[in-house]
Amino acid sequence: MMKFKEVKHSIPKVDGRGLLKGASAYTDDLTVNSALIVKLLRSPYAFAKIKSIDTKKAQKVEGIECILTYKDVPRIPITRAGQGYPEPSPKDKFILDNYVRYVGDEVAIIAGTTEKVVEDAMKLIEVDYEILEPVLDFEKAEGHKSVIHPEKEIYSMFPLGLDARNNIACSYLDTMIVGDMDKTLAECDFVVKERYYTHAQQQTAMEPHTSTAYIDVQERLNIITSTQNPYHTRRIIGEALNKPLRDIRVIKPRIGGGFGAKQQIHNDIYTAIVTLKTGKPSKCFYTRKEVNESSFTRHQMRFDIQLGANKDGIIQAFDMQLLSNTGAYGEHSLTTFMVAGSKLLPMYNKTKAIRFEGKVVYTNKCSAGAYRGYGAIQANFAVESAIRELAEKLKMDPVELRLKNCIKEGETSPVFQVMGEGGEGIAQIMESCKLDYCIKRGRELIGWNKKYPSKQIAPNKIRSVGTAIAMQGSGIPLLDMGAAVLKLNDDGFFNLLVGATDLGTGSDTVLSQIAAEAIGVPVDRIVITSSDTDTTPYDVGAYASSTTFVSGNAARKAGLDMRAKLIEEAARALEAVHKDDVIFEDCTFKLKDSHESITLKELSEGLYYKFGADMKQLIASGSNTSPKSPPPFMTGFVEIELDIETGKIDVLEYVGVVDCGTPINPNLARIQVEGGILQGIGMAMYEDVVYSKDGKMLTNNLMKYKIPNRKDVKKITVEFAESYDPAGPYGAKSVGEIGIDTPLAAIANAVYNAVGVRIRSVPLTPEKVLHGILEKS
Amino acid sequence: MILKLNINNKFYNTNIESDESLLVVLRHLGFKSVKKGCDTGTCGVCSVLIDGKPRLSCQFLAARAQGHKITTVEGLGKKADAIIDAIVNEGADQCGYCGPSLVLTTYAMKKELKDPTVNKIKHYLAGNLCRCSGYEGQLRGIKKYMGVK
């Protein structure tokens, strides 16, 4: 086991105390009181064409500064998805358009001095709509007579299979094919062939999407925003408004959760355009209704799975055909879809034949976008349910089936090379993979051998266990890049500047720990500043489980660079013959075989005040991108109690055993997993985005869209496998997403183990469970 | 209308609209610890203490607050330290958006619950939603603070 001084220690988050004391730290807290209030007039129809729009009466309301319709804004197709560049999402969104494509789509931007003024003006805007037939069923979207994107300008930056005339945002065919699927399936002793559905889910970050804009003294546009990716935001705003990026600054302050929701741009574009038009500061703070109805949900998906195995239980064939619903616009449509394959197929790597294909369709619903575990959680439900169905056919313990087939350390899968995010991937060997340990340890912790499959504990109650395994990545190989800068100050402390985006995960703390470990100083010598496009170096942002691995390696490199520079300067100050003679420990530089020494504080004072011609600023930097994306692995085990009279499921305990390499801050890593598990349980049990027949979202507030509360949690147990990945900073892999993946299948499998009812669509509501029980009897 | 509000033991004279919520008025007066998270009184991030009891400031008309003692986390000062330490030592503060309201409600709970248990703690804090932490880390910390095993 490796020994570390700063990493692998649970220190409190560097911003934790300040936040809990109520510091002004979030976007709205930092907004000036004089900021114009910006609101959006939104479409009441799922699909319509604006025949005419008249703002004359509204303009006359006292206090109104600016009302903009599609006639007043640049018409440049963009994608609001903050990902790599060239962007792997279709450019199918205009700031405002003469078509509205879902209930809640933007019709006009209104800015005025108070909320009241803006709301009064909104009511006076007269819009004449030509109502069109909406496409609401994603299984009927392809080739529907209503074409959601008839506009000519939309395009993709590289071939995605965009076919807007047929409502197809992208497609992926004839590429991810290994072996002869039909022949292999025909030769298998047992085949599972089933269809599974997953629904949309709301990210529900507690802080609604918020943006404020102002013009600074250099007459540049400044935007403070709750974003996960300030650099992508700057690029997209620049593109949409046709402005050079040098005229735009994007600052991410503290943000109140993201989970992917803030990986798209939301209201930045509206505050930016209002401030540019009026010259005045502006702010836009979404209502919860807007967050739910008019931002982004998880992609709804349909999976057709075929799994084939021989009598010995070795899985020979793995086929996944996927249909995904991207809603009105195509943000993250291809990448979410591909993750469904790339994070599931390699887990079972003994297969002879692999096939993964499908399409992503437009519908007249709220756009789908990024949400923690995107693609992977949906596919995990389908695949890990199918694995349990295969175990049933084989008459094999599902845990044993997984142990027999799962990927192990030193192994690989052809999928890594074929599939990346939006294009080809990169081959990799699992240099750290403790998945088999995670499975065995989880089995022990839940008491599987005593509890599987189930036990009747009362006439109406059955207790049972279920399980699923999961794999994520650590950033996107050779696409994600993060950088860090370290600056020495005259009291012997360091500023760590990173573009990485702490959205409440604790990445500022984790990166500080890594930099401190690399320099060889206590973490309290590091003061971090993150996520400001003017003052911090580039980073893709917080998504794809990238920060600990990608940005963490940048912080490590910057730290090592700083350490070398410090030693060089200390050697000069100590008049060492060779810099190898300098030992740096306990913030003091000592000469080997001598009593000569200089403290870090003294050295820094010398460099800035006393060393004459040798005075200088010490700055070190590190950039990191990697051909590797070492996957974290996890096993989820659940024990449920099922009421067979009502169909209600109670989750008694959820056990997660995780291999994320070295947990840089074990407390923070644990909370990442616990929080992920509960979001997964929410999606498994009751969270659901429900629409009316005419396409209006019914679950548009937190009364109707229920997220888990404290009383819904009985017990969550999380443990980490002892693991070290040589590519990670001090052995770390990322851990932000993996926690969310397993609950859907684990709980569905537990339901099956309790009552023999197989539910192939989430959420696992009491109605579905009871229906299944009644149908069986 | 002109209102005289007692916030954290100081008096503030402020001119408000008659239909404004206490949340809006507090934020306008600079008490930024009081957050807005939903519009339906569901999430709890706007919680303040009114005469020592947790209340949702988004559901409380500012005009009704005159004559009552309003406490925000800024007003707890050092009295909040033990609660804050209990939460941050577990890493359970996370994004922090629900944090000030959780600290306030926990402070009120300590005064109110004579015989605290895990279930009573969960029940008392059920109205304070958190999407980051999965609640378990917060519970570990708060149990210690409340002296519950």
Within A339-401, strands assigned E span 353-362
CA distance A230 to chain B (A): 17
A37, A61, A113, A199 from A118: Cα distances, Å = 7, 8, 8, 35
Closest alpha carbon to A13 in B98, B141, B139, B96? B96
3 state SS of A291: helix
For the entire predicted model, the pTM comes to: 0.98
What is the rounded CA–CA span in Å between residue B71 and residue A212? Answer: 28
Closest chain B residue to A19 measured between Cα atoms?
B96
What is the rounded CA–CA span in Å between residue A294 and residue A304? Answer: 30
Closest alpha carbon to A85 in A369, A422, A328, A324? A422
B45 touches chain A (CB under 8 A): yes
Closest alpha carbon to A347 in A191, A476, A472? A472
**Least CB-CB distance to B97: which of A33, A257, A711?**
A257
- Structural domain boundaries of chain A? 16-22+480-624, 31-132+204-294, 300-476+628-776
CA distance A42 to chain B (A): 18
Test mutation, B31, B131, B146, chain A, max A CBs within 10 A: B131
Which chain B residues are closer than 8 Å to A667 by Cβ? 89-91, 137
Would you say how long chain B is, in residues?
A: 149
Is the pLDDT assigned to residue A595 strictly greater than 80?
A: yes
Q: CB count, 10 Å around CB of A137? A: 12
What is the rounded CA–CA span in Å between residue A64 and residue A578? Answer: 70
A454-472 pLDDT tens trace: 999 999 999 999 999 999 9
What values do phi and psi take at A198, rounded to 5? -120, 150
Is the pLDDT assigned to residue A663 strictly greater than 70?
A: yes
Put simply, the answer to whether B122 touches A710 (Cβ < 8 Å) is yes
Put simply, the answer to whether B35 touches A33 (Cβ < 8 Å) is no
Identify the helix (H) or strand (E) that includes residue A333: helix A333-342
3 state SS of A318: strand
Predicted confidence band at A521 (pLDDT cuts at 50, 70, 90)? Answer: very high
CA distance A560 to chain B (A): 27
Q: Report pLDDT for A75.
A: 97
Q: What's the average model confidence in pLDDT over A223-236? A: 98
Interface size A-B, in CB pairs within 8 Å, comes to: 182
A141-190 pLDDT tens trace: 999 999 999 999 999 999 999 999 999 999 999 999 999 999 999 999 99
Is the pLDDT assigned to residue A530 strictly greater than 70?
A: yes
Put simply, the answer to whether A504 touches B95 (Cβ < 8 Å) is yes
Stronger pLDDT, A421 or A382, i.e. the higher one: A382
A14-33 pLDDT tens trace: 999 999 999 999 999 999 99
**Least CB-CB distance to B134: which of A668, A675, A703?**
A675
Name, in order, each residue with C-beta under 8 angstroms of A210's C-beta and a sequence gap of 6 or more. A26, A27, A28, A225, A226, A267, A283, A284, A285, A286
A720-771 pLDDT tens trace: 999 999 999 999 999 999 999 999 999 999 999 999 999 999 999 999 999 9
Angle, to 10 degrees, between the axis of helix B81-88 and the axis of helix B136-146?
140
Task: Please say whether the beta carbons of A207 and B97 come within 8 A.
Answer: yes
Which chain B residues are closer than 8 Å to A504 by Cβ? 94-97, 132
Q: Report pLDDT for A285.
A: 98
B131 touches chain A (CB under 8 A): yes
CATH number for A31-132+204-294 (one of 3.40.50.300, 3.90.1170.50, 3.90.870.10, 3.30.70.2740): it is 3.90.1170.50
Predicted confidence band at A777 (pLDDT cuts at 50, 70, 90)? Answer: confident
pLDDT in tens, chain B (149 residues): 999 999 999 999 999 999 999 999 999 999 999 999 999 999 999 999 999 999 999 999 999 999 999 999 999 999 999 999 999 999 999 999 999 999 999 999 999 999 999 999 999 999 999 999 999 999 999 999 999 99
B37 touches chain A (CB under 8 A): yes
Domains A16-22+480-624 and A31-132+204-294 alike in fold? no
Put simply, the answer to whether A206 touches B130 (Cβ < 8 Å) is yes
Domains for chain B: give ranges and CATH numbers: 2-75 (3.10.20.30), 77-146 (1.10.150.120)
Task: Please say whether the beta carbons of A422 and A157 come within 8 A.
Answer: no
Burial pattern A259-290, b for ≥16 Cβ within 10 A else e, equals bbbbbbbbbbbbbbbbbebeebbbbbbbbbbb
Is the pLDDT assigned to residue A593 strictly greater than 90?
A: no
Give the per-residue SS3 of A701-757.
CCCCCCCCCHHHCCCEEEEECCCCCCCCHHHECCCCCHHHCCHHHHHHHHHHHHHCC
CATH architecture assignment, domain A300-476+628-776: 2-Layer Sandwich (3.30)
B101 touches chain A (CB under 8 A): no
CA distance B66 to chain A (A): 23
Residue A1, both tokens = 């086991």
Q: Report pLDDT for A301.
A: 98
Which chain B residues are closer than 8 Å to A670 by Cβ? 91, 137
Residue A455, both tokens = 């036990």
Put simply, the answer to whether B129 touches A702 (Cβ < 8 Å) is yes
Q: What's the average model confidence in pLDDT over A687-693? A: 98
CA distance A195 to chain B (A): 31
Put simply, the answer to whether B132 touches A504 (Cβ < 8 Å) is yes
A400-449 pLDDT tens trace: 999 999 999 999 999 999 998 788 899 999 999 999 999 999 999 999 99
Test mutation, A27, A32, A206, chain B, max B CBs within 10 A: A206
Burial pattern A603-626, b for ≥16 Cβ within 10 A else e, equals bbbbbbeeeeeeeeebebbbbbbb
B75 touches chain A (CB under 8 A): no
Predicted confidence band at A1 (pLDDT cuts at 50, 70, 90)? Answer: low
Closest chain A residue to B19 measured between Cα atoms?
A116
How would you classify the pairing of strands A36-42 and A282-285? parallel
* Percent of chain A as helix, strand, coil, to the nearest 5: 30, 25, 40
Residue B82, both tokens = 């033990």
Which chain A residues are closer than 8 Å to B130 by Cβ? 206
Which chain A residues are closer than 8 Å to B83 by Cβ? 20
Q: What's the average model confidence in pLDDT over A657-676? A: 98
CA distance B48 to chain A (A): 12
What is the rounded CA–CA span in Å between residue A211 and residue A88? Answer: 25
Closest alpha carbon to A100 in A121, A73, A129? A129
What is the rounded CA–CA span in Å between residue B84 and residue A183? Answer: 62
Is the pLDDT assigned to residue A334 strictly greater than 90?
A: yes
**Least CB-CB distance to B137: which of A15, A255, A674?**
A674
Q: Report pLDDT for A552.
A: 98
Q: Report pLDDT for A7.
A: 98
Test mutation, A11, A14, A15, A21, chain B, max B CBs within 10 A: A21
Residue A698, both tokens = 């019914």
Put simply, the answer to whether B88 touches A17 (Cβ < 8 Å) is yes
B52 touches chain A (CB under 8 A): no
Q: Report pLDDT for A423.
A: 84
Residue A522, both tokens = 């206590």
B100 touches chain A (CB under 8 A): yes
What is the rounded CA–CA span in Å between residue A219 and residue A38? Answer: 21
Task: Please say whether the beta carbons of A390 and A190 come within 8 A.
Answer: yes
**Least CB-CB distance to A21: which of B17, B73, B92?**
B73
**Least CB-CB distance to A10: which of B39, B91, B99?**
B91
B105 touches chain A (CB under 8 A): no
What is the rounded CA–CA span in Å between residue A373 and residue A663? Answer: 19
CA distance B133 to chain A (A): 4
Name, in order, each residue with C-beta under 8 angstroms of A586's C-beta and a sequence gap of 6 or more. none
Instruction: Tell me whether 0.95 is exceeded by the ipTM.
Output: yes
Fold topology of A16-22+480-624? Aldehyde Oxidoreductase; domain 4 (3.30.365)
Q: Report pLDDT for A326.
A: 98
